[in-house]
Chain A
Amino acid sequence: MGLFILRRLGVMVLTALCLTFVVFWLTNLYPNLEKLAKTQGNFRMSDEAVESYLGKNGYLQPMPVKFGQWLGVLPGWTLEDGGVVTGKCFGSDTPEEDRRSFCGVLQGDWGFSTVFKDDVGSIVLTRLGLTGKLMFFVMLVMVPMALIIGVLAGMREGSKMDRSLSTFSIASTATPEYVSGVIFIAVFASSAFGLKWFKGSATSAMDSVTFENFTLPVVTIALYGMGYIARMTRASMTEVMTAQYIRTARLKGVKFSDIVLKHALRNALIAPFTVIMLQFPWLLNGVVIVETLFNYKGFGWLLVQAASNNDIELLLAVSVVSVIVVLVTQLISDIGYVYLNPRIRIA
C-alpha cells in the first residue's frame, strides 16, 4: 500500500509538471505575449515598443529558462539598464542585501498578477475559500439527494418508482449548468414569471450566505452532478439486490426496509464513493460556469479572468491548483476503494 501511494504520488508530480509546462508554453507563445504587452501598456503600441516591454520584463528568454525560473530551480532574471538593476525577484528600489536570486513556486513565491496587481498566492487563497463555501453547500445538497434517489430506484428494479427516478436522473445529466441556471433564473428570479423567490445574482453571498442568494447557484451545480451519481448508485444497488445473501435474508423473513438499510446499503455504497470523488474535477467545470452566470467571484471566476487577460502567473497558479485537485481526488478514490472493498488488494 505504501509503495502504491508513493508511486502514485510520483506520477502525480510528473503529471503536474507536464501540465504546467503545457500551460506555460501556451501562455508564452508570442501572440499571447503581444496581447499581454498591449493590455499592460496601450493597444496602439508599435511592434518595437512591444518588443522592448517584453524584453524589460524578462519574457523574451528561452522557454525552458523561463519555466525553470517560475519553478524556482533557476535564478530569476536580472537586467542592468543605466545603473538601475531590475529583476524577477526584486524591484529597483529593493536594497541590495534583500535581493534574492531564486524566487519560484518552490520558494513559495507564486508571482505577481498583472490583472489584479496583487500577489498571486493571496488572490488564489481568497478565491479558493469562496469556492470552497460554494462546494460545501453543493456537496451537502448533491450527495444525500443522489444517494437517496439511487437507492430508491435500485431497490426494486423495473418498478414504476425506478422508471420515473431513472428518467429524472437521465434528465438531470442532460441539463448542463448553463441551461438549468438560465431556466432557474428566468423562472424563480425574473419578473417574467412573477415568482421572485430567489436572487439571480450571488454576489452578496460572498459576504453572507442567505437562503435567498445562494439557493440557485447551489442547486444548479448540484443538479447536473446528481444524475450521474444517482445512476451509479442505482446500478450498484440493483447488483447488490440480486446477491445471494439478500435472497437469504428475504427467505428468512427479514423486513424489506431492514434488508435495504442493513444488508444492501453498505455494500451498495462502495461504487458511488469512487464516483463522488471523481465528480470533483467535473464540479470545477460547473463552478466556472455558475460563478460566471451568477457573478460569484470565486475560483472559477478567477480562472475566466486570468485566461481572458492572459495573466500568465495567475493562470499557472490556477491550473496547478485545479490539476492538484483532480489528481488528489483520483488518489483518494483509489485508496478509498481499496479500503472499502476488502476483495481488492493492491500489492
Chain B
Amino acid sequence: MEELSWGGILARMFIQLGPVWISLIILFTVSMTYKRRLGLYGKLFDSTIGMIGFGLVMFWVFIGVYGGPLDMLVTHDPLSQVSGMKNKVPGTPMRGAEEGEYAYFLLGGDNLARDVFSRLIKGAWVVVQIAPVATLFAFMVGITLGLPAGYYGGRLDTLLSFLANLILAFPVILLFYLLVTPEIVLTGIPNYMALFLFVFPLIFVCILLNSRYYTQPAVRTPLLIGVLGGLGWLYLSLVSTNGSVVATPTYTIPGLPGFLDLFDIDPGILVVFVSVVFVNSPTVFRIVRGLAMDIKTRDYVAAAQTRGEGPWYIMLWEILPNARGPLIVDFCLRIGYTTILLGTLGFFGLGLESESPDWGSTINAGRRLLALYPHAAIAPALALLTLVLGLNLLADGLREESLRD
C-alpha cells in the first residue's frame, strides 16, 4: 500500500470523526432554532466569534466523550506499540495490518511506535475530564471564601486576602515541582488538601439551600438531609481510597469502607487535580471579592438588608446572581488556563505517568525528536492550541453578549 497524501489523510480523518460532525450539526441546528428561548446561551449564537469558539470547544468535548468512555473514533490502541511504525510520518500504511484493523497511521507513529491519532483522541478525554471539574471546584472555593471577604470586609478580608496573595506570589511551576512528586504523595499531603478543598462545594450547597429555605423548616429539613446525604456520600467516596482517607506508611486515617466507596481516584490524578484547584482558587477568590465589594453598595442589597434578610441570603441570592456575567466569562477563560496548566504539568513530566496520552505528556515525549520527526509533538500542540483558543473566543463572545444586556 502507498503512503497517503495530505488530502487523503484529511479526508480519512474527516470520515473517522463522522460522529463528531453529526453531533455538532445537530447541536448547532437545535440551538440556532431555539436561540431566543435559551437566555445567555442562545445569545451566543448572535456573535460570530462566540459561535466559532463554542464550535471549537464542543468539537473537542465530543471527541473526548466519544473517544474516551465510549471508545469510538480511535483507530488503534493508544498504548500498544506496533513494530516497524516508530517515528513514521503521517499517512504511513500500517505494517502487517490484519483484517479488520485500520490500515493507516493517520498522523504517523511516535517514538515508541504508537498511533499519534488515537493518542490525540484519548488525550482529549483526559483534558475534558479534569479541566472543567477542577475549575468548578476552584470556583466553589473562591466563591465560598470570596463572598464573605468582600461583604464583611475587615479582619476576615485582610486575613483571607493575605493568604490568597501568598499563594499567588508563588511561581506556579515551583509549586507544582514541590507538590506533584511521588515523595509528596507518600506523605499524604494531597489527601489532606483534597479533604479540605473538596468540602467547599458541600458547604456552598448547604448554605445556599439553608439561607433560601430556613423560613420554611418543613421544606428545608428533608431537602438538606437529602442533598447533604448525597453530596456527603460523594465527598467521602471522592476522598477515600481502599477504605482510608489518608494512607501513609506510618499511619492511616480510616474512611469510607470499600463496599460503600463509589469510585477510587488514582493518587497521581488526585495530586494533579488538587494542585490545579489550589493554584486557581486564589484568583477566583480575588475576582469574587472584588465583585462582592462592588455589588454590596447597590440599592437592592440595601433593600434586602432593610427587609431583614440574613447576610448569607444576601451574599448568595442577591450578590452572586448579579455577579454571574463576569464569573461565567472568567469560568470559560479559566478552563482554558487550567488546560494550559495541565499541559505544563505534562510538559515537565509531573503527576500523570509518562505513558499517559494527555497532550502535555505527549508534547514532552515528542520534543526530544523535534528536529527530525516533529509530527508527534505538533499534533497535540495544535490540539491544545485550538481548544484553548476556542475557550478564549467563547469567553469573548459571552462577554460581548452579556455586556449588551
Q: Are A285 and B172 in contact (CB under 8 A)?
A: yes
What are the residues of chain B within 8 A of A29 when measuring CB–CB? 183-184, 187, 189
**B377 sits at the interface (CB 8 A):** yes
Q: Contact at A322–B388, with CB atoms within 8 Å?
A: no
Nearest residue in B to A175 (C-beta to C-beta)?
A: B385
Say yes or no: is B94 at the interface (Cβ < 8 Å to chain A): no
Chain B residues contacting A175 (CB-CB under 8 Å) are 385, 388-389
B171 near A281: Cβ-Cβ < 8 Å: yes
Interface residues of A in 123-144 (CB under 8 A from B): none
Give chain B interface residues in 352-397, CB to chain A under 8 Å.
Answer: 360, 363, 366-367, 370-375, 377-378, 381-382, 384-385, 388-389, 391-393, 396
A88-96, A267-275, A286-294: which lies at the interface = A286-294
Q: In whole Å, how far is B13's beta carbon from the nearest beta carbon of chain A?
A: 19
A84 interfacial contact with B, CB 8 Å: no
Contact B170 A192 (CB under 8 A): no
Shortest A207–chain B CB gap in Å is: 21
Interface residues on B, range: 35 or more
A53 to chain B, nearest CB (A): 17
Is A206 in contact with chain B by the CB < 8 A criterion?
no
Asked if A174 and B374 sit within 8 Å, CB to CB, the answer is: no
Which residue of chain B has the shortest Cβ distance to A193 in the bound complex?
B374
Closest to A325 in B: B171
Q: Is the interface of A mostly helix, strand, loop or mixed?
A: helix
- Is there contact, CB below 8 Å, between A18 and B389? no
Write out the residue numbers on chain B whose beta carbons fall within 8 Å of the beta carbon of A178: 343-344, 347, 360, 363, 367, 381
Complex contact B370–A182 (CB within 8 A): yes
Contacts A11-B162, A30-B187, A285-B171 given; indicate if A170 touches B396 (C-beta within 8 A).
Answer: yes
The total of chain A residues at the interface (CB under 8 A) is 53
A-facing residues in B301-356 (Cβ within 8 Å): 336, 340, 343-344, 347-348
Bound state CA distance, A323 and B171, in angstroms? 7
In the complex, the answer to whether A170 meets B171 with C-beta atoms within 8 Å is: no
The contact of A192 among B178, B363, B373, by CB within 8 Å, is: B373
**Contact B371–A189 (Cβ < 8 Å):** yes
B-side contacts of A104, CB under 8 Å: none
B169 within 8 A of A: yes
CB proximity to B under 8 Å, residues A175-203:
175-176, 178-179, 182-183, 185-186, 189-193, 200
What is the CB-to-nearest-CB distance from B78 to chain A, in angstroms, rounded to a whole number? 20
Knowing A171-B389, A189-B371, A200-B371, the reply to whether A284 touches B171 (Cβ < 8 A) is yes
Say yes or no for A27: interface residue by CB 8 A criterion.
Answer: yes
Report the minimum CB–CB distance from A204 to chain B (whole Å). 15
Asked whether, in the complex, the Cβ of A293 is within 8 Å of the Cβ of B367, the reply is yes
User: Counting CB contacts under 8 A, is B70 at the interface?
Assistant: no
B-side contacts of A289, CB under 8 Å: 173, 344, 347
Give A152 to B168 CA distance when docked, in angstroms. Answer: 32
Minimal beta-carbon separation of B380 from chain A (angstroms): 9
B166 contacts the other chain (Cβ, under 8 Å)? yes
Complex A-B: 13 CB contacts under 8 Å: A31-B184, A170-B392, A171-B389, A174-B392, A183-B382, A185-B374, A189-B370, A191-B371, A192-B373, A285-B344, A292-B347, A303-B171, A303-B174
